[in-house]
Structure formats: structure tokens, C-alpha cells
Amino acid sequence: METRFLAIAELVEAPSAAVVVDVMRAFTVAAWAFAQGAEKIVLAKSLDEALALKARHPDWVALKDGPLATGFDTVNSPGVLRSVDLGGRTVVQKTTAGTVGALAVKEASLVLCAGFVVAEATARLLRTRGCGSVTFVVTGDDGRADEDLACAQYIAQRATGAGADAAEFLRRAAESRAAAELTEGVRQGAHPDDVALCLELDRFPFAMVAALEDSLMVLRPCAVPSLTDEASI
């Protein structure tokens, strides 16, 4: 498997397979939304689109990063989301980096959204799909966010069958600027447990696949074969 690591601005053509990584916090939040029962997540292009979708579908749950704002139901925080019952609900998510990254590769044949909480399931899905070439989109800080790069490199190593010791990758994420900003309260709409929740390796057994549905980019959880099943594929 050939792997490359690009910032959003470096994406010039649609990759065949893309893994969009946002550890802090968009795709940790997305995974928690599914764990709390959400059926799907619509990745909105803009705050206006998120609000328009919410107006059209009042039962949908709209969230954005930063502080809670008028018209939105909640914030981009795993610590907040983990105590919200989202059974059967549709979530609309708009964030600064993660959702933008996923929309930038919407034409790719396979789009996975990932963080450490779904790392192994994501790597396993890449392996079982037999992807020859995978583009990892490092969403944060114009591609320099070390929590996203570390997670992307870890998933890439797991996907290519190379044994990878997670500890060093998690240490880099724990020492990233995003982690410091969340801990110090620079980033708003945060819960004290957010950093710890973003660093929970393989908290969930599913991967997350995004695809266009009626012109909207929709993220859904995807069960992946267990290690035993994989051995017999």
C-alpha cells in the first residue's frame, strides 16, 4: 500500500482512497455521536448550510466547534456528546478543520474519517478493501497539527501490516498544540475530559465512511471484519 500525507490545501485531485484525520476533535466527536446512537452525520459546508439543514429538519441535531451559538443544539466536544442520547437521530456537524477536510475529498471512491478512537478499525478496513494507494488528509493547522499527523502515521503503519507501538504516537498527540489549547481553555465549547477522550486508542470497534448522498456528504459507522475473519479473506 502506497501512503501519502497531505494538508487540505495540497489536495489537487481526487484520491482513490482518503483517510481524513481530525483527532481534536471532529472525528472523535463523530465516533461518540455514533456510540450515543446517531444514525448518520451530515458534514455541512458552512455554518449557514448547517443552520438551513436544521431549519428544514428541526429534529436533526446541529453542532459546531467553538462556543454554543444560536440555532445550534450542542458543541464539538466528546466530553459533552457522551452524555447526550442521540438514538436514531441525524447530526449536522460543521467544524474548522475536520468537516472541511472530508468535503475536500468528496469525489474520492472511498472516504474514511478517523481519529485514535477508531484507528484499528480504520486500518483494518483499508486492509480488507485492498487499497493500493491511500491519501491521509492531515486536517489541523494547515497540515501541521501533530495530533493528526501522528494518528495518520499510526493508522498507515497498522494498515500496511507494520507493527506500530501506539505509545509514541499518542505521546505526540498529547503534547500537541491542540491538546494544550484544549487543556488551557483557549478552545471554546470544550469539556475537561476532551483531550483524554481524544487519546483513547481504539475506543470504538467501527470505522466511519463518508459518501455523497443527494449532494450531501454523509458520514456513517461501518462494521469491519474481526481479525479472525480477516485472516480467512
Helix or strand run (H / E) with residue 174: helix 166-174
| 41 makes contact with ligand L3UKIRZJ (CB under 6 A) | no
Residues 53 to 72 in contact with ligand L3UKIRZJ, rule: CB under 6 A: 65
Nearest to ligand L3UKIRZJ of 137, 170 (CB atom): 137
* Minimum separation from the CB atom of position 54 to ligand L3UKIRZJ (A): 18
Query: Which one of residues 97, 111, 131, 195 is an interface residue with ligand L3UKIRZJ (CB under 6 A)?
Result: 97
In angstroms, the CA 146 to CA 9 distance is 17
Stretch that binds ligand L3UKIRZJ, among 23-31, 41-49, 120-128, 159-167 (CB under 6 A): 23-31
Write out the binding residues for Mg ion, residues 71-100 only, by CB under 5 A: 97
Distance of CA 57 to the CA centre of its chain: 24
Q: Which residues pair with 221 in a beta bridge?
A: 208
What value does the CA radius of gyration of the chain take, rounded to a whole number of Å? Answer: 16
* DSSP class of 149: H
Report helix, strand or coil for 2.
Answer: strand
Across the strands, what pairs with 207? 222
We find the least distance from the C-beta atom of residue 161 to Mg ion, in angstroms, to be 28
Contact 187, 140 (CB under 8 A): no
Query: 25 or 124, CB closer to ligand L3UKIRZJ?
Result: 25
Among 124, 127, 187, 203, binds ligand L3UKIRZJ (CB under 6 A): 187
Question: Regarding beta strands 216-223 and 206-213, do their DSSP bridges make them parallel or antiparallel, or are they unpaired?
Answer: antiparallel
- Binding footprint of Mg ion on the chain (CB under 5 A): 22, 24, 97, 140
